[in-house]
Amino acid sequence: MGEVSHSAPEGRDLLKRQLGLALRRQKLRALLLVVPLLLFVTATFIYPIGGLLTRSAYAPEFSEGMPRTAAALSEWDRTGLPPESAWEALVLDLQDHNRQGTAGKIAATLNVELPGARSLIIKTARLAPRLTPPYRTSLAAAEDGWKNPVAWAAMKTLANSFTDRFYLAAVDHRIDADGSVVAQPSGRQIYVPLFVRTFAIGGLVTLCCLLLGFPVAYWLSVLPMRYSNLLMIMVLLPFWTSLLVRTTAWIVLLQDRGVINSLLVWTGLIHDEGRLRLIFNSTGTVIAMTHILLPFMILPLYSVMKTVPPTYMRAARSLGANQFTAFVRIYLPQTKAGVAAGCLLVFILSLGYYITPALVGGESGTLISNMIAYHIQKSLNWGLAAALSALLLASVLLLYWAYNRLAQVDGLKLG
Amino acid sequence: MTVKKQPAPDRDASHSAADAVVRFINVQKTYDAERLVVRNLNLDIRRGEFLTMLGPSGSGKTTTLMMLAGFEPATHGEILLNGRQINRVPPDKRGIGMVFQNYALFPHMTVAENLAFPLQVRSVGKAEVERRVLDALAMVELSGFGTRRPAQLSGGQQQRVAVARALIFEPEVVLMDEPLGALDKQLREQMQYEIKRLHERLGVTIVYVTHDQSEALTMSDRIAVFNDGVIQQLSTPADLYEQPTSLFVAEFIGENNRLGGKLEHVDSAGKCTVRLDGGQIVSAIAVGNPKPGQAVQLSLRPERVLLNPNRSDTSLSIVEASVDDLIYLGDHIRIRLLVDGQEPFVIKALNDDNGMSARKGDKVAVGWRAENCRALHQSQSDVGHG
């Protein structure tokens, strides 16, 4: 003690330098250990996902492919038909595309915004080299489609590289011809009901997992080691089986002429005509997803229950609480962290579930992730797929944030 | 299963069975149907007494406590609380308070909520609960700590809350299962005093389990020494220390020197002469009716053995010894001797002005009065201990 206080302050600086030097080696080593994974995650996860998500708000295909048209339409105020300059720009741009044979790409882009516009663009591109100024007259005479302001409005919407139209589409809204945001007619609303269904099925699956998993986790935590190990293997067994095999097994069990229905008919509980629809609808999705996600509920519950010593229950009993009161007031609150973690895990996983609902969901059991896959693979509307994904991601983050806010009060924070 | 009722052997005529708040009658317990953890236990716990169950681990003391609390069923025999059989009464209906080894304070409740819990489950009114919680906090000198969580308290404070919680619903009997085991020495001594003080103030019956003999000696009215599922001896602390009835108790409580020999002669008053294995004849008190010719073990407390006694005093038995080792302990010196050529024999010499002149290898003599030397015969349960 005495020596240290004598050596101040220049001695203290020396100590600080020496400490810094000693710590730097440690930090460097820690960094070296982390770098490979960090690079891997950045290259395979953060970069591609970031790239996809930017597509939800950034779509330069039209403005890059039709630069003259995009520029000319930026001055048009969406009233009536655009001025001659826009007609000229359109014809010149399409002449370029006709030369390069790339009109199909622009046609596809416009077709997403205005169904049926594909043939209009293809035909106009073919005509373009023969058109003469003033283009407003010659083009309108050649193709009736351009007399309709809706076609021009659609192009103006596309002309802006930075756009909110995918997000509007993802919540069943669109920009109509005069530029205002309107809701889709109720018959054409797809995504909001699908989000609602995704959350509802996720909630139902979480509830089922909790109800089925809680007793199992409790049993696991109180059994002697050699039995609990065996039971744990049975809990984990689904993990080691292919997802496809498990889902197919559910199809075999649940289909109209499947094991369950045949058994019910055989025992006389239902009539042959009244076979239950257990699969290719939301019931099938809930059953199969509950089965698959159950371990994600049981494991966090088990890990928390294992740390609750049995003396608490004994103490409660000795203080005069009956078995039920002791369970509800003493045991249950102490498993709250496990319940919360398990529910959060299962719910978040179920929001993004894809293969199972695709296989057993049928019409009423598909989820938002199936729609994202459709737009990525079939309709090629990546912007909309990215917007839907971003909304899903945002809702998961929101959920996590809300959980942590609630958990902070009880000291159950996850991180 | 029908339980054959047998009256418990009455150990103490001055206290009739009516005084007993708890009675164990021929109680047995086995976990695996092979080994009896508790063998034929008969024990009367008097109203208002502080009874300690003392014994090595695995001796059956905690199992006995758990049977009384209702967490372990007795496999045979009867347990009575206020004369009523409680074998099949669940723990919450017994009205027995309990303090657990690691306090078992509910971590998700505040101190006040912990204390209120036993009252709430008994449907006590809100105002009454509030008042009694404040009283209980004051009783254990923790007023103002009601809003804290157990994790925010020190070990000693948690212990006091646990005691208060076990007392707050005014049970007749409170069980304590090694409640001070997790505390350091200084805190333990303070808590021993506080628990003792509460016991005297409230007059509640306390059944205390410990494996710490000094704790048992300082706190208890009576101590039941358990070994191998059997109560070896049940008596006051002083009797237990000064008049052990078995070699196990003599060895387990305090320090003990033993010398092997053969009983020569017993008189009607219980005084006897014993021929040590080395051939010398000494006198002692015979315990438990040994017959002449039987092998006995002499039990001598270190502080009752005199070093180099006055050889002309005929009331002393004097044996030659040699100093094997000296251990300096400040206020006293432990002297390890070889007496009668037998296993280590320890005496304590005060480190006072008279000084200690003995040195390693010295030939010395040790002596004792017959009443301080007890001749115990070795029973089966003593084998393997000591």
| Two structure tokens written together for B160 | 């006091």
Give the H/E segment covering residue B332: strand B332-339
Question: Could you report the per-residue pLDDT of A173-184, keeping only the tens digit for each?
Answer: 888 777 788 888
> Is there a domain that residue A169 lies in?
no
Q: Give the number of other CB atoms < 10 A from CB of residue B75.
A: 16
pLDDT for position B13: 41
Token pair, residue B268, equals: 């009607």
Contacts of A326 in chain B (CB under 8 A): 92
Contact A319 B101 (CB under 8 A): no
Note the pLDDT tens digit of each residue in B287-330: 887 788 888 889 999 888 888 888 888 888 888 888 888 888 88
Q: Do A98 and A24 reside in the same domain of the chain?
A: no
Among B179, B177, B183, residue whose Cα is nearest residue B65: B177
Q: A398 and A324, same structural domain?
A: yes
Our count of domains for chain A comes to: 3
Pair type for strands B295-300 and B373-376: antiparallel
Residue B140's identity, in one-letter code, is V
Does any domain span residue A173?
no
Could you tell me if residue A267 is inside a domain? yes
Say how far apart CA B210 and CA B224 lie, in whole Å.
11
Q: For B305, which DSSP code? A: P
A262 belongs to a structural domain: yes
Answer yes or no: do A134 and A254 share one domain: no
- A54 assigned to some structural domain: no
Lookup result for tokens 């169904």: A115
Contact B103, B147 (CB under 8 A): no
Domains of chain B (ranges plus CATH)? Answer: 17-242 (3.40.50.300), 255-380 (2.40.50.100)
pLDDT digits (tens, 9 = 90+) for A319-376: 999 999 999 999 999 998 899 889 999 999 999 888 888 888 888 888 899 999 999 8
Q: Per the structure block, which two tokens stand in for B232? A: 């070896």
Check whether residue A195 and residue A314 sit in a common domain: yes
Residue A82 lies in a domain: yes
Residue of A nearest to B175 (CA): A318
Give the nearest partner residue to B92 out of A317, A329, A334, using CB atoms. Answer: A317
Closest Cβ opposite residue A315 in set B70, B95, B104: B104
- Chain B closest CA to A314's CA: distance in Å? 7
Characterize the bridge pairing of strands A173-175 and B36-46.
unpaired
Q: Taking the C-alpha atoms of A105, A110, A115 and A117 in order, what is their torsion angle to the nearest 10 degrees?
A: -80
Give me the helices (H) in A114-164, please: 117-127, 135-142, 149-159
Residues A279 and A406 in one domain: yes
- Which stretches of chain B are DSSP H helices? 61-69, 111-120, 126-139, 155-167, 185-202, 213-219, 237-242, 247-252
User: Any CB–CB contact under 8 A between B98 and chain A?
Assistant: yes
- Selecting from A309, A326, A334 the residue whose C-beta is nearest the C-beta of B108 gives A334
Q: Quick one: which of B104, B97, B103, B309 has its CA closest to B191?
A: B103
Candidates A121, A56, A62, A61; CA nearest to A95 is A121
A128 and A22 share a domain?
no
Hey, are the CB atoms on A318 and B69 less than 8 Å from each other? Answer: yes
B219 and A CB contact within 8 Å: no
pLDDT above 90: percentage of residues in chain A: 30
Is ipTM over 0.85?
A: no
Give the model's confidence band at A297: pLDDT under 50 very low, under 70 low, under 90 confident, else very high: very high
Optimal mutation site among B32, B67, B117, interface A, most CBs of chain A within 10 A: B117
Residue ranges making up the domain that contains A236: 191-410
Burial B304-328 (b: 16+ CB within 10 A, else e): ebbbebeeeeeebbbbebebeebee
A404 domain residue, yes or no = yes
pLDDT in tens, A177-203: 777 888 888 888 889 999 999 999 999
Distance (Å) from the alpha carbon of B160 to chain A's nearest alpha carbon: 15
Query: Within a 10 A sphere around the Cβ of B213, how many other Cβ atoms?
Result: 19
Smallest CA–CA distance from A412 into chain B, residue: B108
**Contact criterion met (CB < 8 Å) for B118 and A330:** no
Query: Which residues in chain B land under pLDDT 50?
Result: 1-15, 380-386
How many CA atoms does the CB half-sphere of A78 hold within 13 Å? 13
A162 DSSP β-pair partners: A58
**Residue A180 forms part of a structural domain:** no
Among A169, A196, A195, CA closest to A181 = A169
Q: B359 near B284, Cβ under 8 Å?
A: no
User: Domain with A198 in it: what CATH number?
Assistant: 1.10.3720.10
Element spanning B264, H or E = strand B257-266
- Token pair, residue A218, equals 């409790």
